[in-house]
Structure 1
Amino acid sequence: MERWKINLYTLWVSQICSLMSFGFGIPFVPFYFQELGVTSSVQLSYYVGLSATLPAAAMAIASPVWGVVSDRYGRKMMILRAMFFAALILASMGMVRNIWQFMILRICQGIFTGTVTASMSFVSANTPENHMSYALGIMTSSTFLGWSIGPFIGGLLAEVVGYRLCFLLGGLLMMIGFVLVLFLVKEDKNTYGFRVRSAEEGKKSRWAIVTPYIISIMVCLLVQRMARTVFTPFLALYVQENLGTITAAARYTGFINGATSFATAAAALTITRWGDRTDKLRLSMKLTLLSIPVMVLTLPFKSLFVFALFFTVFYFLAGGVEPILTSAASERTPAHMRGALFGIMGTVSSMGAMLSPIMGSYISVEFSIKAILAVIPIVTIIQAACIYIAQKEALKHPIALQSGPEKEDPFYD
């Protein structure tokens, strides 16, 4: 088997382990907070939103730094760094004694982890260009497969062994993924380690990737991440509110999280394959427009089953957009600078994940948790407008950048 495929499938398995690890405990944070002593519904909404905002804010700051480091020292090292700290932090979450200790760990999570960004960066730099959408789709599927299996198992485990042990088991599973990457993933040394001749020239070179086209893609990713994450932190509270009791709420939350994540993984494995054979932005626009009426249909029904059905279909349609847009940006960026690109994209995605729970907390306190669902179609319409702008920029700049540094490039030795 070709080396790039061995790397891809190893990282696919390791990322399933990684996201399963987080899925064992993170989706049930609202219930864990109640166990830590938070009883007021207003306080609970505030802390749930804060818990989702802190790691996203920290990751928005840290991602560009790790991206530049990965271009210099290699992406495999960044994956190992992210998985090691994730294992340590997850295990520590199971041992906290108050909510503020948990919040500090969430900040550390944002700074020191980021397994998804590190793995995506590795794959983008070590995969043939004609297989890029397929490879990134495979990696996206691992993220959501892990996030579908993790909450499903975690919801069942939580009712038997409690939330603390779920976090500890998550840390153990993360270390299994760490070992897989350590021994099975091999990195092409020609894809990193380029030295710039001066700091000023290096800065100019890095900023050369930030073209109007890339900026338009970044805005699309920002809005898309907001649409997908604004309701996620409050799903557990919505289920508890719908059931009228916390009993079995973890189980149903796990089922819904599992269904939406599985749908996203299915989209990444199927829809994104078209991305290598058709116009990526046009495909993204079709998926975005189809997802809007589907999300609207979640609003009039009170049934948890009907909500879960339409919510899952929405995630299937939306799930193909991010890897396709990522591939669209990656194919116009030199391979040796994709670590920096993915670092910037990590920041943009984290900003979306940071802003969405703030917005969700405000809406849930001022109106209701269900009112958050009404925001998603509105944000998705904005996403469609952003993709339209990206299409216009693509027409202005139809020629992709080279995939590696040229020998005569004055910035590199």
Structure 2
Amino acid sequence: MARWQINLTVLWLGQFLVMGGMTMIIPFLPLYIQEMGVTDAHEVAMWSSVIFAGNFVTSFLFQPLWGGLADRYGRKVMLLRSGFGMAVVMTLMGFASDPLHLLLLRVMNGVISGFMPAAVALMSTNTPREKIGFAMGTLQSGGVAGSILGPFIGGLLAEWIGFRSIFYITGILLFCASLLALFLVKEKFDASAAQSKPKISLLQGFRELKQTRELPALYAVTFVIQFSMLSSMALIPLFVQELHGKGEMLAFYAGLVGSVTGFSNMIASPLLGRLSDRIGPVKILAFCLLGAAVSFIPQALVTNIWQLLAARFMLGIFMGGMLPSVQMLIRTYTPNGMESRSYSFNTSALSLGNMLGPVVGGVLSSSIGIKGLFVMAAVLLFANMLWVRKTLFHGGTKQRAG
């Protein structure tokens, strides 16, 4: 195997474990809070929402800081910092005796997170240019696989070994993945040259990146993608119940509808990434945004579970080409030596979409319903496609600055 392929294999596993560990708590988080002594249903719901969101709030705030340090000291260092740090924090979650303890640990997890943008930056700067699309797509498939299987594995393990043991196992797996990265991932990085450059603040770094007008446009694209996708996500089980009724296998169908987009995404990401290496990421991004917008429309018109499954599967295919194309374009337009900082700002935009999408969707659902949210997502993604055409289609994709 070539060096970049070894890096990709190890980082794929790391992405899988990080996302799996972050989403594994979804099925049993309210039950874990009840085990801590909280019995009021409203309080349980409130704590569950705050604890789950806490990770994304601090991740949004701290990602640019870690990105700046990665550009000065290396991406592998940031990988290891995040991987070993999350292993410790995840293990400590198993010792939490109060919801406040769990909230503080989730907040801390967001502070020290950064494995994913560091992995993306490392792969983008240590992969042959003609293979970057494939590498970005494959790397995303690892995170998506973790997101899909995390809740499923978490639900199974909760039944077999109890809630607290899941955190211990996840911590151990993250520690092992970080050890693999320590010994197997290699990075070409001139630390002395990077540290000899003038030190700039986060605001100065953003101002410098903003001079390349395509980068803020790409951050906006990432935000709108996440916002659109997550605005209706929390309400999908209720929509499945509306279509299926309160009969048998309701939980199974709800889980299947929730995960089918991830499966098609995981399959499509490497294929679309390989195609973007041939025809360019801008075309793939515009095509996938349009396809995702179209895929949301039939979701507002379905009358049974199978129609919804087909529409969600189609949506996942187009999702598979969006974020990898954005990551490839960020690599294209970012000045040399600022790759990690640039990816970290994009991760902040992604975290902001993760936070605001469900909140705004929950508020709007009372007035327009989940079908209205599907239509809203279609409109936003179509507008996003027009934004991409306006800001990125101008005589082809230019070469990297710097």
State the TM-score, normalized to the length of structure 1: 0.84
Question: Equivalent residue for 2:398?
Answer: 400
Q: How much does 1:314 deviate?
A: 1.7
Unaligned runs of 5+ in 1: 406-413
TM-fit CA distance, 1:45: 4.8
| Cα shift at 1:100 | 2.3
Distance 1:278 1:145 in 2: 26
Q: How far apart are residue 159 of structure 1 and its match?
A: 2.6
Give the aligned partner of residue 383 of structure 1: 381
User: What SS does structure 2 have at the residue aligned with 1:195?
Assistant: helix
The one-character-per-residue Cα deviations of 1:124-148 (angstroms, maximum 9, x if unpaired) are: 1211222211111111011112222
Name the CA distance, whole Å, in 1 between partners of 2:125 and 2:163: 38
Q: Helix, strand or coil for the counterpart of 2:86?
A: helix
Query: Is 2:170 aligned against 1:139?
Result: no
Of residues 291-300 and 99-108 in structure 1, the stretch that sits farther from structure 2 once superposed is 291-300
- Compute the displacement of 1:174 (Å): 1.3
> What letter corresponds to residue 393 of structure 1 in structure 2?
T
Taking only the aligned residue pairs, the percentage that are identical comes to: 25
Output one character per residue of 1:79-105: Cα deviation in whole Å (capped at 9) or x when no partner.
111111222222222332232222222
The letter of the residue matching 1:360 is: G
Per-residue CA deviations over 1:365-395 (Å, capped at 9, x if unaligned) read x469xx3463244134223323322322234
Aligned residue identity for 1:394: L
> Matches of residues 220-259 of structure 1 in structure 2 within 5 Å?
220-233=221-234, 255-259=256-260
The 1:16–1:395 alpha-carbon spacing in structure 2 relative to 1, beyond 3 Å, is closer
**Does the 8 A contact of 1:27 with 1:254 survive in 2?**
no
Amino acid at match of 2:72: R
Tell me the distance in 2 between the aligned counterparts of 1:352 and 1:47: 21
For the 8 Å contact 2:56–2:351, the answer to whether it is kept is yes
In the comparison of the two structures, how many residue pairs are matched? 400
Gaps of 5+ in 2: none
Matches within 5 A, 1:120-199: 120-190=120-190, 194-195=194-195, 197-199=197-199
Aligned to 1:8: 8
Structure 1 residues 253 and 108, CA gap change in structure 2 (3 angstroms): farther
Question: Does residue 54 of the first structure (1) align with residue 54 of the second (2)?
Answer: yes
Q: Choose between structure 1 and 2 for higher RCO, CA contacts under 8 A separated by at least 6 residues.
A: 1
Matched letter for residue 177 of structure 2 = G
CA distance in 1, matches of 2:223, 2:63: 14
Q: How does 1:80-99 map to 2 (within 5 A)?
A: 80-99=80-99
Residues 333, 401 of structure 1: 8 Å contact kept: no
Counterpart-to-counterpart distance in 2, 1:220 and 1:192? 34
1:90-129 matches, cutoff 5 A: 90-129=90-129
- CA contact under 8 A between 2:299 and 2:374: conserved in structure 1? no
Distance 1:137 1:269 in 2: 4
Alignment of 1:342 with 2:340, yes or no, is no
Note if contact 1:191-1:335 (Cα within 8 Å) is conserved in structure 2: no
Q: Which stretch shifts more, 48-57 or 140-149? A: 48-57
Inter-partner Cα distance in structure 2 for 1:83 and 1:333: 25
Partner letter of residue 171 of structure 1?
G
In 2, are the aligned partners of 1:49 and 1:361 still within 8 Å (CA)? no
Counterpart Cα distance in 2 of 1:302 and 1:146? 30
Letter in 2 for 1:185: V
| Equivalent position SS for 1:26 | coil
Q: Give me the whole-angstrom Cα distance separating, in 2, the residues matched to 1:202 and 1:151.
A: 35
8 Å Cα contact 1:267-1:316 kept in structure 2: yes
- Structure 1 residue aligned with 2:17: 17
Change (3 A) 1:177 1:367: farther
Is the CA contact (8 Å cut-off) linking 2:131 and 2:274 kept in structure 1? no
Give per-residue Cα distances to partners, 1:42-89, cap 9 Å, x unaligned: 555544443343221211110000000000111111111111122222
Aligned partner letter, 1:374: G
- The 1:189–1:57 alpha-carbon spacing in structure 2 relative to 1, beyond 3 Å, is same
1:165: how far off?
Answer: 2.5
- Which residue does the alignment assign to 1:374? 372
Partner of 1:358: 359
Q: Say if 1:235 and 1:179 are closer, same or farther in 2 by CA, change over 3 A.
A: farther
Tell me how far 1:260 sits from its aligned partner: 2.9
**What is the rounded CA distance, in whole Å, between the counterparts of 1:382 and 1:132 in structure 2?**
28
Contact residue 89 and residue 109 of structure 1 kept, 8 A: yes
**1:26 partnered with 2:26:** yes
Matched residue, 1:276: 277
**Cα 1:359–1:38 shift into 2, 3 Å:** farther
Q: What do residues 284-315 of structure 1 show as CA deviations (whole Å, max 9, x unaligned)?
A: 22222222343233345575555444333322
Write out aligned runs for 1:306-345 (5 A). Answer: 306-345=307-346
8 Å contact 2:290–2:385 — kept in the other structure?
Answer: no
Decide which moves more: 115-124 or 67-76: 115-124
Letter paired with 1:264: N
- The answer to whether the 8 A contact 1:229-1:356 is kept is yes
Residues 302 and 384 (structure 1), Cα distance of their counterparts in 2 relative to 1, 3 Å cut: closer
2:289–2:318 contact (8 Å) kept in structure 1:
yes
Q: CA deviation at 1:342?
A: 0.6
Aligned residues: CA RMSD: 3.2
Q: Is the 8 A contact 1:21 1:169 kept in 2?
A: no
Distance 1:317 1:357 in 2: 21
Question: CA 1:377 to 1:190, structure 2 compared with 1: closer, same or farther past 3 Å?
Answer: farther
